[in-house]
């Protein structure tokens, strides 16, 4: 074979391989390179398909004006004479177009508190965007482009459960605001649970370079589908050190579906039970060869868990045939199940294996009656609500808990300065038991020289005394 014939053969093989990589609907092929020519393959076809659907997200928040700026002498020495300096706080991130109508998914922390959001497309066009849905539990948000009158390129969702450690992935975003950038790496680990950031600890770890500005951008597999949303990095310098984390596409899909349905909050299944980790000591007690599964610590009456037969001290080992390594894994698997059906849960009870059927339904959220306390008291500036099943699930409270819980505290409010936190359950005020927001409002409307308050935080009761 002549040199020219060999070059043509290599080119044909390369073209065929690239077509395989870029072909729609193809599963990602996993094999070692068969020749030196295959090592020279390009990711360009995958990038060409994915890049148009990845956008830049710019968020701005109006900051409180410094009253000193009204002093002309102060402005003369520290500001611009006769003008007020910009009081906007700005953040930069990335996003992914997930619907042709102009629906974009990004990280919630990119747009949190923003008064203005703009989206810049890969072709440099800019659009004002409105926030359709925010979900702090997953750190995801969905935006909609305003005045959009065309169909936009999108990325399809991959089944993130099909990812394997060692798979090649691409990260696309806008690191440090330099412009759209593509980096590549592999899936370094799956189901990472010690990352923090979100309630659902089940991250994809990758060594594809991710830096500030990549948040909300796409993690793409070799079929050109969205495998995850890049969210966080582990770094001692602020830049990429080869440890990045992405929210799996199967979780992103749930949030986007809620936004498409017109909801202002994510609808996800409610178990109605609290699960805890299996420690080595517990594993030894249960006769397990290693710590695995999730132990049932609490079951709310009349919840899907209770109706399905789940009981205290049951060990959950799998859901719909997928092994459950810990409580975080179960939370993720259960939250990504479609509403309206059922889930098959494998449990060990007294050493005997059982299968239970759990209904997939949302948590009731009636009677919340959220109010803000404005009267002079230690709780001034706090928002409180009656504990509903939905709120207990959201704040990780015991499923059977009742009473009043702090849901938010304004910055600089007295309640914030005194150390109260979101999630504190208020048990009593000056000896009076608190069962509803109405009772708490009455108890804090009366002036007092001393305030004796009992709250529950993280399973512990705290009693404090404040001067009036």
67-92 pLDDT, tens digit each: 555 556 555 555 554 444 556 667 78
- Architecture of the structural domain at 160-260: Beta Barrel (2.40)
pTM: 0.78
Of 275, 269, 294, the residue nearest 283 (C-alpha) = 294
Q: Where in the chain is the domain with CATH 2.40.10.10?
A: 51-145, 160-260
For position 264, what pLDDT does the model report? 77
For position 3, what pLDDT does the model report? 38
For position 14, what pLDDT does the model report? 41
CA distance 308 to 97: 39
340-392 pLDDT, tens digit each: 999 999 999 988 999 999 999 998 888 889 999 998 899 999 999 999 888 88
Give the rounded percent of residues in the chain with a pLDDT score beyond 90.
Answer: 55
The mean pLDDT of 307-317, rounded to a whole number, is 95
Q: In the CATH hierarchy, which fold is given to the domain comprising 51-145?
A: Thrombin, subunit H (2.40.10)
Residue 152 pLDDT class (50, 70, 90 cuts): very high
For position 38, what pLDDT does the model report? 64
Mean pLDDT for the chain overall: 85
**CA 5 to chain CA centroid, nearest Å:** 53
Of 154, 129, 160, 153, the residue nearest 142 (C-alpha) = 129
Of 94, 91, 58, 60, the residue nearest 180 (C-alpha) = 94
The mean pLDDT of 198-212, rounded to a whole number, is 86
Residue 154 has pLDDT above 90, yes or no: yes
- Architecture of the structural domain at 273-359: Roll (2.30)
Of 242, 195, 246, the residue nearest 217 (C-alpha) = 246
The dihedral built from the CA positions of residue 279, 283, 288 and 289, taken in this order, carries a sign that is positive
CA distance 316 to 325: 9
Q: Which residue has the tokens 């914030």?
A: 416
Q: In the CATH hierarchy, which fold is given to the domain comprising 371-467?
A: Pdz3 Domain (2.30.42)
Q: Which of 28-32, 400-404, 425-429 has the lowest mean pLDDT?
A: 28-32
Residue 39 pLDDT class (50, 70, 90 cuts): low
Residue 217 has pLDDT above 90, yes or no: yes
Residue 235 has pLDDT above 70, yes or no: no
126-139 pLDDT, tens digit each: 999 999 999 988 99
CA distance 391 to 305: 17
The mean pLDDT of 192-198, rounded to a whole number, is 70
Q: Where in the chain is the domain with CATH 2.30.42.10?
A: 273-359, 371-467
Up-side HSE of residue 363: CA atoms within 13 Å toward CB? 25
Tokens of 306: 């209770």
The mean pLDDT of 443-462, rounded to a whole number, is 88
For position 88, what pLDDT does the model report? 64
Tokens of 15: 């073209």
Query: Coil, strand, or helix at residue 365?
Result: coil
Active-site positions read: 109, 139, 215
């Amino acid at each position: 074979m002549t040199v020219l014939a060999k070059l043509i053969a290599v080119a044909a093989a390369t073209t065929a391989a690239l077509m395989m990589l870029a072909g729609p609907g193809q599963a990602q092929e996993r094999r070692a390179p068969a020749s030196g020519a295959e090592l020279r393959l390009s990711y360009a076809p995958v990038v060409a398909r994915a890049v148009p659907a990845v956008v830049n997200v710019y968020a701005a928040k109006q900051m409180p004006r410094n009253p000193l700026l009204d002093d002309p002498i102060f402005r003369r020495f520290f500001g611009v004479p006769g003008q007020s300096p910009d009081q906007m706080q700005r953040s930069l991130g990335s996003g992914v177009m997930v619907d042709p109508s102009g629906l974009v998914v990004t990280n919630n922390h990119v747009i949190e508190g923003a008064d203005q959001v703009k989206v810049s497309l890969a072709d440099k066009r800019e659009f004002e965007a409105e926030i359709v849905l925010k979900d702090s539990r997953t750190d995801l948000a969905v935006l909609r482009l305003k005045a959009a009158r065309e169909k936009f390129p999108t990325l399809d969702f991959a089944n993130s459960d099909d990812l394997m450690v060692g798979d090649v992935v691409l990260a696309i975003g806008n690191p440090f605001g330099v412009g759209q950038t593509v980096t590549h790496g592999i899936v370094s680990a799956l189901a990472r649970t010690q990352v923090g950031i979100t309630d659902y600890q089940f991250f994809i770890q990758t060594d594809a370079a991710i830096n500030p500005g990549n948040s909300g951008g796409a993690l793409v597999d070799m079929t050109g589908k969205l495998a995850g949303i890049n969210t966080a990095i582990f770094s001692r310098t602020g830049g990429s050190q080869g440890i990045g984390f992405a929210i799996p596409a199967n979780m992103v899909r749930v949030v986007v579906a809620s936004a498409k349905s017109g909801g202002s909050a994510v609808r996800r299944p409610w178990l109605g039970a609290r699960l805890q980790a299996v420690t080595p000591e517990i594993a030894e007690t249960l006769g397990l060869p290693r710590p695995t599964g999730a132990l049932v610590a609490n079951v709310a009456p009349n919840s899907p868990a209770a109706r399905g037969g789940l009981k205290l001290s049951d060990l959950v080992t799998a859901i719909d045939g997928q092994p459950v390594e810990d409580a975080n894994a179960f939370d993720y698997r259960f939250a990504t199940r479609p509403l309206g059906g059922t889930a098959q849960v494998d449990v060990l009870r007294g050493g005997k294996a059982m299968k239970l059927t759990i209904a997939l339904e949302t948590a009731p959220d009636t009677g919340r009656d959220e109010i803000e306390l404005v009267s002079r008291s230690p709780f001034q500036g706090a928002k409180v609500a009656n504990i509903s099943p939905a709120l207990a699930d959201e704040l990780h409270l015991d499923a059977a808990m009742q009473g009043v819980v702090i849901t938010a505290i304004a910055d600089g409010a007295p309640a914030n300065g005194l150390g109260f936190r979101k999630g504190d359950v208020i048990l009593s005020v000056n000896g009076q038991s608190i069962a509803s927001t109405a009772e708490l409002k009455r108890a804090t409307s009366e002036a007092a020289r001393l305030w004796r308050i009992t709250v529950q935080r993280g399973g512990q009761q705290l009693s404090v005394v404040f001067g009036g």
